């Protein structure tokens, strides 16, 4: 049986993973995606596997 401390730790680690969103940019069309994972296929240019992770500041540059 798991201890209460283990149950709490597991709950918070799972919560952290669910809310850990990042920015991704398509290297072909510069589409920005904000989420837990990058899309497999870009919804804008339909290129497969073209997303790279970028910082929040880098993502902002593409919105301007």
pTM of the model: 0.69
Q: Within a domain: residue 46?
A: yes
| Residue 17 burial (CB count, 10 A) | 9
In a domain, residue 45? The reply is yes
Number of domains in the chain: 1
Residue 8 contacts residue 16 (beta carbons within 8 Å): no
Residue 49's CB is within 10 A of a number of other CB atoms, namely 10
Instruction: Assess if residue 3 is contained within a domain.
Output: no
Domain that holds residue 29: 21-63
| Tokens coding 60 | 């902002």
The CATH number for 40's domain is 2.20.28
* 1-37 residue pLDDT tens: 566 666 555 555 555 555 689 999 999 999 999 999 9
What are the pLDDT digits (tens) for 38-64? 999 999 999 999 999 999 999 999 876
């Amino acid at each position: 049986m798991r201890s209460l401390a283990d149950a709490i730790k597991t709950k918070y680690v799972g919560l952290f993973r669910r809310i850990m969103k990042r920015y991704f940019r398509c290297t072909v069309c510069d589409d920005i995606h904000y989420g837990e994972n990058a899309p497999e296929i870009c919804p804008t240019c339909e290129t497969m596997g073209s997303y790279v992770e970028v910082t929040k500041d880098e993502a902002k540059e593409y919105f301007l």
